[in-house]
Chain A
Amino acid sequence: MLLSEATTTGFFYLAPWIVFFPVIGLLLNIIIGGRLPERGIGWLASAASFASFVVSVLLAYSVWAGHGHVESVFLAEWMHIGALQLDWTFRVDTLSTTMMLVVSGVGTLIHIYAIGYMHEDVRFKNDPGRFRRFFVFLNLFIAMMMILVSGDSYLMLFVGWEGVGLCSFLLIGFWYDMDTLGRPSWANSNAGNKAFITNRIGDFGFLIAGFLMFTYLGSFQFDQVFAVAPDLAHHHPEIIIAITLFMLVGVAGKSAQIPLYVWLPDAMAGPTPVSALIHAATMVTAGVYLIARSAPLYTLVPAAQYVVAFIGAMTALFAATIAVGQYDIKKVLAYSTISQLGFMVAAVGMGAYVAGMFHLVTHAFFKALLFLSAGSVILGVERGHHHAAHGHGHHGDDHHEEVFDPGDMRNMGGMRKTMPVTFWLYMIGTLALAGIFPFAGFWSKDEILLDASLHYKGVYYLLAIAAFFTAFYMGRQIWMVFFGEARHEAAEKAEESPGIITVPLMVLAALSVLGGALNLPFDGFHNFGHWLEYTFEPFVHVEALPLDLVVAGTSTLLALIAIFISWLIYGRNPLKKGQPDPLKKPLGFIFTGMENKWFVDEGYFAVFINRYVDLANFLADHVDWRFWHDWFHDKVIAGTYNWLSNIALNRYADQRGIDAFFDGWGKVTKYLSASMRRVQNGFVRSYALSVLLGVVLILGYLLLK
């Protein structure tokens, strides 16, 4: 298209390229990746993701230049069957471009980080070919996520929704055949299955919501659905409630809310860049995006909003308490992610869509930062472990026998000195997550709390306590990992990570510090709010709330108290080697509960999974084997057949009936041929006679007819 045309109509026509670029990247890596050096593969994938980011920026610029103009970019017909008219159309508005920018921007940084990280991972020494596969999956994820956020209909969104679910499964189980140290194990593969199956339960809800939507609203396309919905809500609000609540089941699966959050902690089995990209920054926020996108539906039914807000708030608190009792550095962050997703879901449930989306964006920055820094810590410890093992000389072999988990915080300590850059980056992420002024998390979390304090008191209390726990477990983590003395040789000899790992982190750290500036609670600074207003305003009134010093002060005070308490417990008297957690004794069974995730997994096993296995066993053993195989097939079918053949095909019927019949035919043939052979007597003259007789007969016939 000509440049002049582009300036008048914007860059909307570029929209499909947000999907095409990553797809081209992954195809190139599949085709020529085998001949590229390791870095080339990584940079190619990063470039594809970056190209997608550039297009997202152009799209955002076009939307901004068009004053929030909503553009639908038609790409292809999908299916047209009767009333079902589905196209692959890109919807470019303020909400979708926000998601595109986060996905491709954070995604690109994580791609670059992954070049360094995956090279360092000890397991690559076993199989260099997986490097390429990893980046192919990452690019596929970016493409699918882009389809999700840019879809113009619920069904197109669902395509991306399933696509990212697939990528999540592929990447959680990326080391499907070995554990953290490269020993054979199926644990990662099982974690991938758990995530996939749990998400299927959520998708079931999403699908039901979609079917209801099509049945009663007659379309999947956003604008058409939103146009008809108010009328239906007026006459039959229960249908809209059913649609929104079934949609919430899908959200609970994808965004790890109660009761389907259990897959996310296990998803930490994936490589750390995957945890950061998919299971913290982007994919798990798809549920929040879905509710924000469906804002016109949710605002019609306050009852459903209430449920969403409470589910979110309870998840926020519940997961925060579990995070307190975890020892794995990534598990703490995983529960923290669930908790923060709870904040977002609560926000969009309350109708505070801007606050929810704002927290989504800042959370993408600081949680990606925290995960990637945690990955850097783990790599540092692994390097230290390597040095320690080699330093021991002959004793090195014994050292390897000991099961060493480089992600266990009880093995760390004092890493402030060995990994200073990572330490400072981690600190920034922690302060942002804990909601300390003036980091990004402060502004976004505060906006949610403020909204809750005005409209939903119950949600506000739950979230405030969750925020307290958030600051506490992050403080605990900082003291345990970076302060005190090293509790393992590996932590003592840990080494700082190279620049390719730390530089993307610095960018994320800058965003975590400054991200709050997107939407400051002062007049004239509600930029993000005004930006999203373009999308929400026709349906929802966007409140631009001023800063409330009481709410902001309370949450900051709570966070500071929590950090102080964590210092009292973990900072003042650092954990010694082999010492149990100091909270274990005073809290007793409560801490055991936190440590064991409140036994939710065990509960699910007892209530659902074991019952399911019992049912499967029953079906296999009794129904399939005993009923179908032993009884139906062996007794009924085979038995009847045998019985029938004994009756009908006994000696008499067989030999005297069937045998005799066919033998009879044989005898007839034999007899006929015996008489016919006499004709061939070998005498030329008799042959000549028969020729003559034949001629006479034919001629006689011809003459007399």
Chain B
Amino acid sequence: MVPETYYIALSAILFTIGALGVLIRRNALIIFMSVELMLNAANLAFVAFANTYGQLSGQIIVFFVIAVAAAEVAVGLALIVAIFKTKKSIDVDQMSSLKG
């Protein structure tokens, strides 16, 4: 039986990698993947806690997160495709036409 601290530590590591990925990388696809990494880090924490405390709600919310993430991926990828068609690039720093 692996102690839950390990899971939480892994979850924190994954979340940090994801967050850094979002902040540092400029490729929209990579940012997207980093966001997925953060989501799954959270999922891992949920499942770990659910297991520890014997509660089902943690398990259930993970399914919700997976479903929402799938929908998000569908919308997000469509946006990226649309942006690529107009700008011929998916570099997020190029997309700054809304600056104040």
A residues engaging B (CB < 8 A)? 677-685, 688-689, 692
Instruction: Please name all residues of chain A whose beta carbon is closer than 8 Å to the beta carbon of B23 when the two chains form the complex.
Output: 685, 688-689, 692
Is B85 located at the chain interface by the 8 A CB criterion?
no
- With A680-B100, A685-B26 given, name 9 new contacts (CB 8 A): A680-B99, A681-B96, A681-B99, A681-B100, A683-B92, A683-B99, A685-B22, A685-B92, A692-B19
| Residue pair A684, B92 in contact (C-beta under 8 Å) | yes
- Distance in angstroms between the alpha carbons of A680 and B97 in the assembled complex: 11
Of all chain A residues, the one with the shortest Cβ separation from B96 is A682
- Distance in angstroms between the alpha carbons of A680 and B98 in the assembled complex: 8
Instruction: Please name all residues of chain B whose beta carbon is closer than 8 Å to the beta carbon of A680 when the two chains form the complex.
Output: 98-100
| Residue pair B96, A683 in contact (C-beta under 8 Å) | yes
Interface residues in B31-60 by Cβ distance below 8 A to A read: 31
User: What's the minimum C-beta distance from A677 to chain B, rounded to whole angstroms?
Assistant: 4
- Distance in angstroms between the alpha carbons of A681 and B95 in the assembled complex: 11
Of all chain A residues, the one with the shortest Cβ separation from B97 is A682
| Residue pair B95, A684 in contact (C-beta under 8 Å) | yes
| Residue pair B100, A679 in contact (C-beta under 8 Å) | yes
Closest 3 CB pairs of A and B: A680-B100, A682-B99, A682-B96
- Distance in angstroms between the alpha carbons of A680 and B19 in the assembled complex: 21
Of all chain A residues, the one with the shortest Cβ separation from B35 is A688
Of all chain A residues, the one with the shortest Cβ separation from B24 is A685
Instruction: Please name all residues of chain B whose beta carbon is closer than 8 Å to the beta carbon of A688 when the two chains form the complex.
Output: 22-23
User: What's the minimum C-beta distance from A673 to chain B, rounded to whole angstroms?
Assistant: 10
- Distance in angstroms between the alpha carbons of A678 and B23 in the assembled complex: 19
Instruction: Please name all residues of chain B whose beta carbon is closer than 8 Å to the beta carbon of A685 when the two chains form the complex.
Output: 22-24, 26, 31, 92-93
- Distance in angstroms between the alpha carbons of A212 and B92 in the assembled complex: 100
User: What's the minimum C-beta distance from A220 to chain B, rounded to whole angstroms?
Assistant: 84
Of all chain A residues, the one with the shortest Cβ separation from B99 is A682
Instruction: Please name all residues of chain B whose beta carbon is closer than 8 Å to the beta carbon of A684 when the two chains form the complex.
Output: 31, 92, 95
Instruction: Please name all residues of chain A whose beta carbon is closer than 8 Å to the beta carbon of B31 when the two chains form the complex.
Output: 684-685
User: What's the minimum C-beta distance from B96 to chain A, rounded to whole angstroms?
Assistant: 3
Instruction: Please name all residues of chain B whose beta carbon is closer than 8 Å to the beta carbon of A678 when the two chains form the complex.
Output: 100
User: What's the minimum C-beta distance from A699 to chain B, rounded to whole angstroms?
Assistant: 12
Which of B23, B26, B100 lies at the interface centre, i.e. has the most chain A CB atoms within 10 A of its CB?
B100
- Distance in angstroms between the alpha carbons of A50 and B93 in the assembled complex: 106
Number of interface residues, chain B, beta carbon within 8 A: 14
- Distance in angstroms between the alpha carbons of A692 and B24 in the assembled complex: 13
- Distance in angstroms between the alpha carbons of A689 and B22 in the assembled complex: 9
User: What's the minimum C-beta distance from A690 to chain B, rounded to whole angstroms?
Assistant: 11
Interface residues in B58-97 by Cβ distance below 8 A to A read: 92-93, 95-97
- Distance in angstroms between the alpha carbons of A620 and B4 in the assembled complex: 103
Of all chain A residues, the one with the shortest Cβ separation from B20 is A692
Instruction: Please name all residues of chain A whose beta carbon is closer than 8 Å to the beta carbon of B96 when the two chains form the complex.
Output: 681-683
Of all chain A residues, the one with the shortest Cβ separation from B19 is A692
Instruction: Please name all residues of chain B whose beta carbon is closer than 8 Å to the beta carbon of A682 when the two chains form the complex.
Output: 95-100
Q: Can you offer 7 A-B residue contacts whose CB atoms are under 8 A?
A: A680-B100, A682-B98, A682-B99, A683-B93, A685-B24, A685-B26, A685-B93
Instruction: Please name all residues of chain A whose beta carbon is closer than 8 Å to the beta carbon of B99 when the two chains form the complex.
Output: 680-683
Which of A678, A679, A688, A689 lies at the interface centre, i.e. has the most chain B CB atoms within 10 A of its CB?
A688
- Distance in angstroms between the alpha carbons of A265 and B98 in the assembled complex: 96
Instruction: Please name all residues of chain A whose beta carbon is closer than 8 Å to the beta carbon of B92 when the two chains form the complex.
Output: 683-685
User: What's the minimum C-beta distance from A215 to chain B, rounded to whole angstroms?
Assistant: 84
Instruction: Please name all residues of chain A whose beta carbon is closer than 8 Å to the beta carbon of B93 when the two chains form the complex.
Output: 683, 685
User: What's the minimum C-beta distance from A693 to chain B, rounded to whole angstroms?
Assistant: 10
User: What's the minimum C-beta distance from A233 to chain B, rounded to whole angstroms?
Assistant: 99
Of all chain A residues, the one with the shortest Cβ separation from B25 is A685
User: What's the minimum C-beta distance from A683 to chain B, rounded to whole angstroms?
Assistant: 6
- Distance in angstroms between the alpha carbons of A688 and B95 in the assembled complex: 14
Of all chain B residues, the one with the shortest Cβ separation from A677 is B100
- Distance in angstroms between the alpha carbons of A683 and B24 in the assembled complex: 12
- Distance in angstroms between the alpha carbons of A682 and B92 in the assembled complex: 10
User: What's the minimum C-beta distance from A612 to chain B, rounded to whole angstroms?
Assistant: 80
- Distance in angstroms between the alpha carbons of A678 and B31 in the assembled complex: 24
- Distance in angstroms between the alpha carbons of A506 and B92 in the assembled complex: 118
- Distance in angstroms between the alpha carbons of A680 and B99 in the assembled complex: 5
Interface residues in B9-31 by Cβ distance below 8 A to A read: 19, 22-24, 26, 31
Which of A677, A679, A684 lies at the interface centre, i.e. has the most chain B CB atoms within 10 A of its CB?
A684
Instruction: Please name all residues of chain A whose beta carbon is closer than 8 Å to the beta carbon of B26 when the two chains form the complex.
Output: 685
Of all chain B residues, the one with the shortest Cβ separation from A695 is B19
User: What's the minimum C-beta distance from B72 to chain A, rounded to whole angstroms?
Assistant: 15
Of all chain B residues, the one with the shortest Cβ separation from A688 is B22
User: What's the minimum C-beta distance from B98 to chain A, rounded to whole angstroms?
Assistant: 5
Of all chain B residues, the one with the shortest Cβ separation from A676 is B100
User: What's the minimum C-beta distance from A64 to chain B, rounded to whole angstroms?
Assistant: 105
User: What's the minimum C-beta distance from A172 to chain B, rounded to whole angstroms?
Assistant: 84
Instruction: Please name all residues of chain A whose beta carbon is closer than 8 Å to the beta carbon of B97 when the two chains form the complex.
Output: 682
User: What's the minimum C-beta distance from A698 to chain B, rounded to whole angstroms?
Assistant: 15
- Distance in angstroms between the alpha carbons of A680 and B96 in the assembled complex: 10
Which of A681, A683, A692 lies at the interface centre, i.e. has the most chain B CB atoms within 10 A of its CB?
A683
- Distance in angstroms between the alpha carbons of A689 and B31 in the assembled complex: 13
Of all chain B residues, the one with the shortest Cβ separation from A684 is B92
- Distance in angstroms between the alpha carbons of A32 and B91 in the assembled complex: 91
User: What's the minimum C-beta distance from A548 to chain B, rounded to whole angstroms?
Assistant: 120
User: What's the minimum C-beta distance from B32 to chain A, rounded to whole angstroms?
Assistant: 12
- Distance in angstroms between the alpha carbons of A73 and B71 in the assembled complex: 93
- Distance in angstroms between the alpha carbons of A679 and B24 in the assembled complex: 19
- Distance in angstroms between the alpha carbons of A688 and B26 in the assembled complex: 12
Instruction: Please name all residues of chain A whose beta carbon is closer than 8 Å to the beta carbon of B19 when the two chains form the complex.
Output: 692
- Distance in angstroms between the alpha carbons of A684 and B31 in the assembled complex: 11
- Distance in angstroms between the alpha carbons of A682 and B97 in the assembled complex: 6
- Distance in angstroms between the alpha carbons of A42 and B70 in the assembled complex: 97
- Distance in angstroms between the alpha carbons of A255 and B22 in the assembled complex: 109
User: What's the minimum C-beta distance from A700 to chain B, rounded to whole angstroms?
Assistant: 15
User: What's the minimum C-beta distance from B31 to chain A, rounded to whole angstroms?
Assistant: 8
- Distance in angstroms between the alpha carbons of A534 and B97 in the assembled complex: 111
User: What's the minimum C-beta distance from A458 to chain B, rounded to whole angstroms?
Assistant: 111
- Distance in angstroms between the alpha carbons of A689 and B25 in the assembled complex: 12
Instruction: Please name all residues of chain B whose beta carbon is closer than 8 Å to the beta carbon of A689 when the two chains form the complex.
Output: 23
- Distance in angstroms between the alpha carbons of A692 and B93 in the assembled complex: 18
- Distance in angstroms between the alpha carbons of A74 and B19 in the assembled complex: 97
User: What's the minimum C-beta distance from B38 to chain A, rounded to whole angstroms?
Assistant: 10
- Distance in angstroms between the alpha carbons of A692 and B23 in the assembled complex: 9
User: What's the minimum C-beta distance from A355 to chain B, rounded to whole angstroms?
Assistant: 108
- Distance in angstroms between the alpha carbons of A308 and B93 in the assembled complex: 114
User: What's the minimum C-beta distance from B8 to chain A, rounded to whole angstroms?
Assistant: 15
Of all chain A residues, the one with the shortest Cβ separation from B95 is A684
- Distance in angstroms between the alpha carbons of A53 and B97 in the assembled complex: 99
- Distance in angstroms between the alpha carbons of A418 and B96 in the assembled complex: 116
- Distance in angstroms between the alpha carbons of A678 and B99 in the assembled complex: 8
